Structure 1
Amino acid sequence: MEEEEHLFNKNFISVTVINFVVYLVYYLLIVIIAVIAQKHLHASLAEAGLASGIYIIGTLFARLLIGKKLEILGRKNVLRYGGLAYLITTAAYLYMPNLAILFAIRLLNGFCYGMVSTATNAIVTEYIPFSKRGEGINYYGLSTSLAAAFGPLIGLLLLTYTNFYTIIIISIILIVLSTLGSFILPVKEIEVNPDHLATMKSWKLNTFMERKVLFISFIGLLMGLAYSSVLSFLASYAEAIHLVQVSSFFFLVYAGAVTLTRPMSGKMFDRFGEDSVMYPSYIFLTLGLFALSFTTVGWQLLGSGVLVGLGYGTFMSNGQAVVLKTLRTESHKIGLGLSTYFIGLDLGIGIGPYILGELKNFISFQEMYLVAGILPLVCAVLYKIYYNPSKVTKGIEQEIHHLTEHAQHGKVAK
């Protein structure tokens, strides 16, 4: 128990490493699957885009369903059996004779990835001392950010020097290791009282999302949409401005910026509150996307990578910390709350390429990045108007007071 009072206890480190591997395989495959669909299965550009995007649809279904049922099914079961299913559906890439099979594999693989990532996001919260929630979530979120940086880089390098089947074998080995780790990891389950259990079993539409975190989830959707302009179009943009070689280092500097600033942003969240990191994240992402729109030489491209990392990378984990703060006294809702938040992020990244791609038919790349850069500013304005940290804190204090009074009455009754 004493070990768990420290942030870097062995269980926190274990679940963070598992999460890193799960996300690494996701990002490793997402950057190459469109190329494989076109080269090996003669897919059109639209079909290749669908092969990439259908994965997100599977993930969203998993977050909606598993996020709601997580505590009923059990965090341990979802993590372990979801990991096995993730392994099987990844191995299925070895057999994809046509596009229909590829689409089915991508959909199922996305669902299984959603299962495992939903479980890890909830499980890690039990190994973070509440006084260090911002710092802990930022270190945990670093695993996702690093995977988002190194996954595309490794995927493209492997595709250049090996072949698709070698990449799948490497992915299988990684998932085998993470799944073995999930069977060793001790997982704390949440006890659910009968009233909450009835809500979790309900199939009403409003029980599939946690309303208390819908606002920060919507902000996540807009931020994800803005960031999708980088994920989806950076390679094409770099080719258009003749910076292809330099662009391969974009995600490395992104990862470097996130790695260096993540510990500080977590401590700022804990000490000064969420506003101290959320507003800078909006501003930095806007600056990064605006910088991309004016990029003409290599150092400008890499500089924008630093700014984007400080923006989206900071927001992603601190938005998760906001969810935990909001649901501090309702641990049975953490799984659903985090699922709701990541639905927003995933949906933004999923629909962004289509929306911005359609917009690109009428404007240039430079103008597209200017438009994308406006979205974080919109987020800042909405956050200022509608989000009140003091109200969240006051609500938490009232809930704690209510629970304390309830416990005292229980003792008196006894």
Structure 2
Amino acid sequence: MVGIFGKKASSTLWTKNFILFSGLNLFLNLGVQFLIPILPLYAISVLGASESQVGYLLGLYSFAALAARPFAGYAYDHFGRKKPFVIALIAFSILSFLYNFTATFILLVILRVIHGLAFSFTTTGTGAIVGDIVPSERRGEGIGYFGMTNTLAMALGPAIALSIMGNNNYWILFALSGFLAISAFLMSNFVHFPKIELSSKPFNIKTIFEKKVFSVVLVVLMFGVINGGVLSFIIIYSQDIGIINGGLFFLINSIGVITIRLFTGKIMDIHGPRPMIIFGFIIQSIGLVLLSAANGIFLFLTAAVLLGVANGTLMPTLQTMVMNMVESNKRGVANATFFAAMDIGVGGGSILLGLIAELASFKIMYLFCAVYLVIPLIYFLSYVSKDYERKIVEIDTTIINEKFK
């Protein structure tokens, strides 16, 4: 079978290596998801932070991750996949335990920023490594299934965290987050990291970001703005509208993500990204309108499943587009560019939407998000879709020509 870059490749997806690496990613992201709904509550109830301060806390984490992306992408393409990834896992594990020592909001912000740097290296690595592990002609399907471990973590993590928290048992949650990260590190010792042709280009502005994928990652950035608002403030919003167990949002949301991801990868590989992007943005806009209108559990959870379907469609489709647009020894930088755009979107979105919520209300904030989605959809239809198809043809032709030189 011929892959997307015109070369033969094994079509086997469910290898031992793929399953093991997916398990590693599940443990790593469970630790991350433990913290997402808890830190805003911890900052407000224990450290006395305001809603806008929580927005800055979440935003600075994303911007810290953004600052490290160029170095992470460069490291993975120049030094191989294993060494930078293992070092990042060790650092991430140690930092996860330190939340128990944040006695002031300033200390929490400092730790969160440093943790964001380590998070940047781990997520840049997982995206590049799974792109190497899966067969090229099944990359959309493989990335879709791999992403389901993120979704499962998003479903289980917040629900488990909120149930454990009980009477403010934050110290237990922070410790568990650290142990999950250590488990991911231990599993990395059994993963076979595919060897790649190392890039020899020097570290400069031209090599730390992949310009071929800029059109796609601008869509990622605009999509990230919405993710920053939906996930960061959903627990606080649920309390505002009188829903006691807001953690159900994450569980129902994840059901939507998992269900749609059973199909999106295969559809992407066969029909391309255009129908998936159109569907994803329309469903996300509907979900945000319902979330804005919610005053009870029914609309709240209906919005959760629709937003899950949208996220499960858009994220793997956009990431597969980025992976398909570059050669294997540029996937580290390309993946760093992808996540850098997401970091900017989530960070900027957390700050901007936090201010909107404080000045107006959460309902107005979510309604604003629904209207805003028209912008990335129009941009994708008018330019990105055609640019993607053109660059896929160019890179396929280039690699075939080099093969027969």
**Structure 1 residue 270 corresponds to structure 2 residue 269:** yes
**Inter-partner Cα distance in structure 1 for 2:9 and 2:281:** 36
- Aligned pair count reads 398
The alpha carbon displacement at 1:49 in A equals 4.3
Q: Aligned-residue CA RMSD in angstroms?
A: 2.3
The one-letter code of the counterpart of 2:307 is V
Q: Which has the higher contact order (CA 8 A, sep 6+)?
A: 2
From 400, 405, 408, the equivalent of 2:401 is 405
Corresponding letter in the other structure for 2:212: K
User: Which amino acid counterpart does residue 185 of structure 2 have in structure 1?
Assistant: T
1:251-400 equivalences in 2 (<5 Å): 251-327=250-326, 330-389=327-386, 392-400=388-396
**8 Å CA contact retained: 1:76, 1:189:** no
Shift of 1:217: 1.2
Residue 6 in 1 paired to residue 12 in 2? yes
CA distance in 1, matches of 2:87, 2:34: 22
2:162–2:247 contact (8 Å) kept in structure 1: no
Structure with greater helix percent = 1
State the Cα deviation string for residues 91-134 of structure 1 (Å, max 9, x = none).
Answer: 22243344443333222211112111111111111121112111
Structure 2: which 5+ residue stretches go unaligned? 1-7
Cα–Cα, structure 1 residues 362 and 186, in superposed 2: closer, same or farther, change >3 Å? same
- Kept in 1, the 8 Å contact 2:58–2:347? The answer is no
Relative to structure 1, is the Cα distance of residues 385 and 368 closer, same or farther in structure 2, using a 3 angstrom cutoff? same
More deviation in 32-41 or 152-161? 32-41
Q: Which residue of 2 aligns with 1:182?
A: 188
Query: CA 1:116 to 1:257, structure 2 compared with 1: closer, same or farther past 3 Å?
Result: same
Letter in 1 for 2:333: L
Contact 2:288–2:307, Cα closer than 8 Å, also in 1: yes
Counterpart selection for 1:102 from 88, 95, 108: 108
How far apart, CA to CA, are the structure 2 residues paired with 1:356 and 1:52?
A: 11
| 1:151-197 superposed Cα distances (whole Å, 9 cap, x missing partner) | 222222221256122112212221121101112211113213xxx52
> Highest CA radius of gyration, 1 or 2?
1
Cα pair distance change 1:254/1:366, threshold 3 Å:
same
Q: Residues 56 and 350 of structure 1 are in contact (CA less than 8 Å); yes or no, is this contact kept in structure 2?
A: yes
Equivalent in the alignment of 2:171: 165
Structure 2 SS opposite 1:190 = coil
TM-score (norm 1): 0.89
Indicate the residue corresponding to 2:217 in structure 1: 217
Structure 1 residues 33 and 398: alpha-carbon distance in aligned structure 2, compared to 1, 3 A threshold: closer
For the residue of structure 1 that corresponds to 2:342, the secondary structure is helix
3-state DSSP of counterpart to 2:200: helix
Cα deviation per residue 1:174-223 (whole Å; 9 max; x = unaligned)? 1121101112211113213xxx522xx232x3432111111221111111
The 1:403–1:3 alpha-carbon spacing in structure 2 relative to 1, beyond 3 Å, is closer
Deviating 4+ runs (over 6 angstroms): none
- Out of 131, 135, 138, the residue aligned to residue 137 of structure 2 is 131
For residues 78-89 of structure 1, what are the structure 2 equivalents within 5 Å?
Answer: 78-89=84-95
Identify the match of residue 69 of structure 2 among 63, 66, 81.
63
> For the Cα contact (< 8 Å) 1:19–1:117, is it kept in 2?
no
Inter-CA distance 149–376: structure 2 relative to 1 (3 Å threshold): farther
Letter aligned with residue 211 of structure 1: K
Structure-2 change in CA distance of 1:44 and 1:8 (3 Å) = same
Unaligned runs of 5+ in 1: 410-414
User: Is 2:288–2:370's contact at 8 Å kept on the other side of the alignment?
Assistant: yes
Distance 1:382 1:332 in 2: 29
Deviation at 1:271, TM superposition (A): 1.1
Give the 5 Å matches for 1:225-244. 225-244=225-244
Aligned counterparts of 1:84 and 1:388: Cα–Cα separation in 2: 39
CA–CA separation in structure 2 for the residues paired with 1:165 and 1:88: 15
